[in-house]
Amino acid sequence: MNYTSEQANILVHALPYIQKYYGKTIVIKYGGNAMIDEKLKMSVVRDVVLMHYVGMKPILVHGGGPEISAMMKKMGKEPEFINGKRVTDAETMDIVEMALAGKVNKGIVSIINILGGKAVGLSGKDANLIVAEKTEEDLGFVGKVKKINPEILTDLLEHSYIPVVSSVAIGENGESFNVNADHIAGEIAAELKAAKLIMMTDVPGIYSDFSNKSTFISELTVSDAKKMIETRQIDKGMIPKVEACMTALSGAVERTHIIDGTMPHSLLMEIFTDTGIGTMIVP
């Protein structure tokens, strides 16, 4: 088989998936090293633009913990965490908003536009997209999603724009909140009844024993995932990703996936191949 026929075969095998997801909304949580490494960033964004051009409706949701910490240090403020959660006083919240809704968000938007897409950057403050409430007093302006107002997203998708959403939300009194981007992605997917929620992380997926790579789990039910959280087989940063998948599934999202964003074109492999990659969480 020569190189040209291999390329043709790839396109033919992709056709059923292009047909299946044409016109469908796909929510992608973008984070980890795929946001920091410039080559990976370009690869991910190029995949999103390709999805858009074959008729899908991608929404990109992002956080940016390392960028927040770096900006805090530049401004002479040391990051502080309690149980892995960032303590966010009023000054820190200003920095979070500058880093996420400003630098990170507009950087992603610029790359999408350079590659031929039409991206619009949003925070939860735009059109009250993400309304949040305080979680724990000790953490300051750290919030959880109270309500998603998706009209601005549906309007943008209808007019062929790619929404890029940062994890800054608004409170009922107009205050800003720092909200976990995984949870936001799950809530948006549920609200829009997306065809897929794809969580990009820095590992291939979920293992029953992370130290033993032969225990990789390609498909996991919600009930088993809950048990694995209780027994700490799913722990730390993987917990909000799994919780986001559960939220999405409860909102009639068809498929949820946790994939390795450090693998080039992992998005395309998940969407356009028979086997996909990563761990799929099912009802």
Q: In angstroms, rounded to a whole number, what is the distance separating the alpha carbons of residues 150 and 158?
A: 12
Model's pTM, two decimal places? 0.94
Question: What pLDDT sits at residue 136?
Answer: 81
What token pair was written down for 147? 């309500």
- Spatial contact of 207 and 267, defined as CB atoms under 8 Å apart: no
- Spatial contact of 170 and 124, defined as CB atoms under 8 Å apart: yes
Q: Say which CATH topology domain 3-282 has.
A: Carbamate kinase (3.40.1160)
- Spatial contact of 222 and 283, defined as CB atoms under 8 Å apart: yes
Whether the per-residue pLDDT at 12 is higher than 90: the answer is no
Question: What pLDDT sits at residue 4?
Answer: 64
Question: What pLDDT sits at residue 83?
Answer: 79
Q: Domain locations in the chain?
A: 3-282
What residues are labeled active site? 29, 32, 65, 182, 241
Q: Which secondary-structure segment (H or E) carries 179?
A: strand 176-179
Question: What pLDDT sits at residue 8?
Answer: 79
Beta bridge partners of 88: 140
What token pair was written down for 51? 């999805």
**pLDDT per residue over 136-145, tens digit each?**
888 999 999 9
Mean pLDDT of 24-44: 90
- Spatial contact of 70 and 63, defined as CB atoms under 8 Å apart: no
Average pLDDT, the chain: 92
Question: What pLDDT sits at residue 1?
Answer: 46
